[in-house]
Amino acid sequence: MLIWNRDIDSSEYERARFLPRPGHADYTAFMKYGGFNDFRGGGRFSGRITAPLVMAGALAKKLLNLVDIEVLAHTIAIGGIKAQPKGLDEIRQVDRNPLKCADTEAAEEMLKVIERAKKEGDSVGGIIEGTALKVPAGLGEPVFGTLEGELAKALFAIPAVKGVEFGSGFSAANKKGSENNDSFIIKNNKIATATNNAGGILGGISNGMPIVVRVAVKPTSSIAKSQETVNMESMESASLTIKGRHDTCIVPRAVPAVEAMIAVTLCDFAMRAGLIPRVIK
Ligand SMILES: Cc1cc2nc3c(=O)[nH]c(=O)nc-3n(C[C@H](O)[C@H](O)[C@H](O)COP(=O)(O)O)c2cc1C
């Protein structure tokens, strides 16, 4: 698969070649590659890198379809506004909404917050939730290849992702065991749990419940507001105002990438477990 991109404008990047953008990877890439980093658009640190991730995800989703596993992702917060999606039907239709949010009322508020930040030359972040349905119990390769670990690794490959939590996640730290434990029950002659605070994973192995993972996306670092930086060539202080073509909020664009990385990771585990054949005729 190949994506041709002729809509290129690197002029802004030429201007600020030696001025690392605060919050972006310009400085670390410059140090890592000894000045040979691709400054024209951020190179591999650009959000563009998510396009091939989504391509791989499309293939993985087709393979997961063979074993009925469904992967969904949607926006659950932007700029502090939280969504309250009603159900799976709304989540399955998020592509209809420009913010990929399954709560249309919250999406309207989110849009206002984004527009306000844009006017101020600023940016906002948010949270994406990913869900995988009908994942059978038993996927995951402890100790170092846990399902949580591999999913987190794949999700952290998405630029601007700064946090990953499963199930009750960080809120589990403030709960009692009696509140956080998911009681086992028999449902349709199968073992299930009454709640899903574990986010579908126990001991790094899927437990048959939906896998629920949330991803924190930081606010876009390239903002129009004047910021302090340094000139890496002259070693002097400098100020930077970024023009370029940057989104005020990355979250909606990252939703398909989250879906893709979950699909690729689950596809890998399903193949390792022999659920999906390695050769399909
Ligand atoms: C889909 C997508 C689009 C992005 N677009 C931009 C952008 O327009 N401007 C920007 O400064 N960062 C953008 N980013 C984020 C940067 O690529 C990212 O912050 C940078 O590589 C530093 O990595 P880190 O934030 O993971 O530490 C985007 C990220 C994604 C996932």
Please determine, for residue 41, whether its predicted confidence score (pLDDT) is greater than 80: no
Compare 265 and 244 and report the one with higher pLDDT. 265
Q: What is the pTM of this model?
A: 0.96
220 lines ligand 1 (CB under 6 A): yes
| Ligand 1 centroid, distance to 257 Cα (angstroms) | 12
Q: Ligand 1, residues 250, 255, 258, 259: which to mutate, most atoms within 8 A of Cβ? A: 250
What pLDDT is recorded for position 183? 98
227 lines ligand 1 (CB under 6 A): no
Please determine, for residue 278, whether its predicted confidence score (pLDDT) is greater than 90: no
Least confident residue range of 1-15, 50-64, 186-200 = 1-15
Residues 93 and 272: their CA atoms lie apart, in Å, by 31
Q: What is the largest CA-CA distance in the chain?
A: 71
What pLDDT is recorded for position 277? 86
Residues 278 and 281: their CA atoms lie apart, in Å, by 10
Rounded to 5 degrees, φ, ψ at 103 are -120, 100
DSSP assignment letter at 207: -
Q: Which residue has the tokens 């028999």?
A: 186
Q: pLDDT-derived band of residue 164, with 50, 70 and 90 as boundaries?
A: very high
What pLDDT is recorded for position 275? 95
| Ligand 1 centroid, distance to 267 Cα (angstroms) | 26
Residues 39 and 214: their CA atoms lie apart, in Å, by 31
Q: 10 Å Cβ neighbour count for 214? A: 21
Q: Ligand 1, residues 221, 242, 246: which to mutate, most atoms within 8 A of Cβ? A: 221
What pLDDT is recorded for position 40? 82
Please determine, for residue 10, whether its predicted confidence score (pLDDT) is greater than 90: no
H or E element in which residue 265 lies: helix 251-272
Residues 121 and 244: their CA atoms lie apart, in Å, by 12
Please determine, for residue 54, whether its predicted confidence score (pLDDT) is greater than 90: yes
Please determine, for residue 220, whether its predicted confidence score (pLDDT) is greater than 90: yes
Using the atom order of ligand 1, give the atom closest to the CA of residue 253. 1
Range 244-257 average pLDDT:
94
What SS3 state is found at 48?
helix
Please determine, for residue 57, whether its predicted confidence score (pLDDT) is greater than 90: yes
H or E element in which residue 201 lies: strand 201-202
Question: Which residue type, as a one-letter code, is found at position 165?
Answer: E
Please determine, for residue 129, whether its predicted confidence score (pLDDT) is greater than 90: yes
Least confident residue range of 37-46, 81-90, 209-218 = 37-46
Residues 234 and 36: their CA atoms lie apart, in Å, by 17
What pLDDT is recorded for position 1? 87
Q: Give the mean pLDDT of the chain.
A: 95
123 lines ligand 1 (CB under 6 A): no
Least confident residue range of 1-10, 114-123, 130-139 = 1-10
Please determine, for residue 239, whether its predicted confidence score (pLDDT) is greater than 90: yes
DSSP assignment letter at 172: G
The token pair at 137 is 């119990």
125 lines ligand 1 (CB under 6 A): no
| Ligand 1 centroid, distance to 219 Cα (angstroms) | 9
Question: Which residue type, as a one-letter code, is found at position 176?
Answer: K
Residues 133 and 155: their CA atoms lie apart, in Å, by 18
**Which residue's C-alpha comes closest to atom 30 of ligand 1?**
47
Task: Name residue 212's beta-bridge partners.
Answer: 131
What pLDDT is recorded for position 69? 98
